[in-house]
């Protein structure tokens, strides 16, 4: 199936990130398995993931196209302004590549390193908008997750999975803005804080949760 959002961008029906987000929101309401979508839950979940993947690809497509039209790269250098949509698309791409992980093969390592660099570039542009440098926060978060994966104890994979799922829900909320999803995120984050005694695991998640209100993630 062709990417329906990119097709709409090419046809001129979608020209801004706001219009793209509105188009995604309409489909998300019908397909997200936690928001009362009709039909089989697993089928709805697969369709929502497909829709979200198309949306994330379209965010990058629109941002890069807009950047070339204005005569500048959408990512820019260290002085470029923070691009909220691009940040979430970069985070989603890194999660889909298996974050957190240690790639085993050269080709996989190069691809993963590029995706990781994209996300860290977005975070570097976020620094003037926050009280703390977000890059060490992310690096400590990544290192703690890798340590959990390496530990091999029974509860570690479940905790890593919970954190990944929470980040994925934040990405989905950023795209669709559905209040029930935000409430579910708040509940899960509160439960995670109550059960986790490792601050390095919570720092980046807290930064993300704060971004749901528009700050500190450049809103």
pLDDT at 154: 81
pLDDT at 128: 54
pLDDT at 13: 82
State which H helix or E strand residue 149 sits in. Answer: helix 134-151
pLDDT at 36: 55
**Distances 28 to 21, 139, 158, 181, 217 between C-alpha atoms, Å:** 10, 32, 26, 11, 23
CA distance 117 to 110: 10
Q: What is the mean pLDDT of residues 158-178?
A: 92
CA distance 60 to 170: 18
pLDDT at 60: 82
SS3 category, 39: coil
């Amino acid at each position: 199936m062709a990417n329906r959002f990119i097709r709409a961008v090419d046809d001129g029906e979608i020209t801004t990130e706001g219009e793209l987000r509105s188009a995604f929101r309409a489909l998300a309401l019908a397909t997200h398995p936690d928001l009362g979508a009709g039909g089989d839950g697993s089928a709805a979940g697969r369709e929502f993931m497909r829709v979200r993947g198309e949306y994330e690809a379209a965010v990058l497509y629109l941002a890069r196209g807009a950047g070339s039209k204005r005569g500048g790269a959408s990512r820019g250098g260290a002085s470029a302004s923070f691009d909220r949509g691009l940040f979430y698309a970069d985070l989603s791409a890194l999660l889909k590549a298996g974050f957190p992980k240690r790639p085993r093969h050269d080709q996989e390592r190069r691809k993963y390193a590029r995706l990781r660099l994209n996300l860290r570039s977005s975070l570097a542009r976020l620094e003037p908008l926050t009280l703390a440098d977000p890059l060490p926060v992310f690096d400590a978060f990544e290192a703690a997750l890798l340590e959990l994966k390496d530990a091999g104890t029974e509860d570690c994979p479940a905790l890593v999975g919970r954190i990944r799922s929470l980040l994925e829900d934040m990405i989905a909320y950023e795209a669709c803005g559905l209040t029930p999803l935000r409430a579910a995120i708040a509940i899960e984050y509160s439960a995670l804080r109550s059960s986790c005694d490792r601050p390095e695991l919570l720092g980046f998640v807290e930064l993300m949760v704060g971004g749901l209100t528009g700050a500190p993630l450049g809103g």
